[in-house]
Structure 1
């Protein structure tokens, strides 16, 4: 089993495990009311941000997947996080047992393609290592920017679900076809 986040590199980014030194940047992102508007609606305290950081690190040895800290190569700044998890969410439809994808990025990098670049690297890793039939993601119904990113990443919107008594948009991205299934799949017209 994978015990910690593997390091992934893209043209502009390094995806890696969180360290305690990342707390200031992580806490600043999660304290931003605009960033949190579609998540909990409430900015997180430094204490709650530290818990989230530990959760990101702790998923790897327990689940064999987790969240990556996303570091910008140009200046070494952590600008967000993305990855896969199973939060045992009590929601309909159930996602328990599936590698749910999620992402949160600092407002300073919104609109720069940073989130897409990081998420594409994470998805490539997942397809090579998790071999799941699909990857779900849930998004607040009014979070148009995140929905647009999901669609660019190949996620397709499914019927809405219910999470914590509220409607939630459910997206799903097909996983990589096993080699045998890909060989027998009909050719695209």
Structure 2
């Protein structure tokens, strides 16, 4: 996939373009579009927070998750926008801790169009260029569509584990995927495995 890159308003979140999308830093002006995503129960069913109930909560989320973390060394926090209007319909983000957890979300009306995969591939390409050594990602076993995105961007399944998910306080079995850029292909991030008593390796179908 060909895409252009240029420096955006945050040095750690360079603007990217794909065939259909603009990936850029969030701004204060994006709060209403983010609110439309965060308040949808279907979108947030498998995300680690409850649906946002007010615009004020969405504004706080915008700052906490996207704006106030922009200066962190691993601050990749992208608004996913269509080129037709440059308004956020989703996001892609990389955690700044050692998990380097790769996460994404998309408004329901844009599901099943390959948008998250297209955006994620562009960000992964940038991460590789920037020397990020690896990324991980996890998905609820009841949300296999998220796992399909992980596989499409080159990640491979490593193991599964069960934990009491907070703040929802429900037991969830997660599958952990990983993609190494500058570490040995066989190396696996084990923190979830070591932390959770119930961990195991599943025999997953190849497709």
TM-score using structure 1 length: 0.79
Aligned-pair distance for 1:66? 2.4
Runs of at least 5 residues in structure 2 that lack an aligned partner in the other structure: 1-9, 166-170, 185-207
8 Å CA contact 1:63–1:85 kept in 2: the answer is no
Q: Whose helix fraction is larger, Structure 1's or Structure 2's? A: 1
Residues in 2 aligned to 1:100 and 1:41: alpha-carbon distance in whole angstroms: 16
Change (3 A) 1:161 1:58: farther
8 Å CA contact 2:18–2:122 kept in 1: the answer is yes
Residues in 2 aligned to 1:48 and 1:169: alpha-carbon distance in whole angstroms: 30
8 Å CA contact 2:74–2:94 kept in 1: the answer is no
Match in the other structure for 1:129:
130
8 Å CA contact 2:12–2:73 kept in 1: the answer is no
SS state of the match for residue 63, structure 1?
coil
8 Å CA contact 1:3–1:64 kept in 2: the answer is no
Match in the other structure for 1:64:
74
Residues in 2 aligned to 1:41 and 1:57: alpha-carbon distance in whole angstroms: 18
Match in the other structure for 1:47:
56
RMSD of the alignment, in Å?
Answer: 2.1
Q: How do residues 109-188 of structure 1 correspond to structure 2 at under 5 angstroms?
A: 109-132=110-133, 134-164=134-164, 166=171, 167-176=173-182
Aligned length: 167
SS state of the match for residue 76, structure 1?
coil
Q: How do residues 26-45 of structure 1 correspond to structure 2 at under 5 angstroms?
A: 26-40=34-48, 42-45=50-53
Q: Deviations over 1:42-73 (max 9, x none)?
A: 31233332233212122231233221011100
TM-score using structure 2 length: 0.73
Aligned-pair distance for 1:176? 4.8
Q: Deviations over 1:108-151 (max 9, x none)?
A: 1111111111000100110011331x210111221111111111
8 Å CA contact 2:74–2:95 kept in 1: the answer is no
Change (3 A) 1:163 1:66: farther
Match in the other structure for 1:74:
84
Change (3 A) 1:171 1:177: closer
Residues in 1 aligned to 2:86 and 2:35: alpha-carbon distance in whole angstroms: 16
Aligned-pair distance for 1:41? 6.8
Residues in 1 aligned to 2:12 and 2:56: alpha-carbon distance in whole angstroms: 23
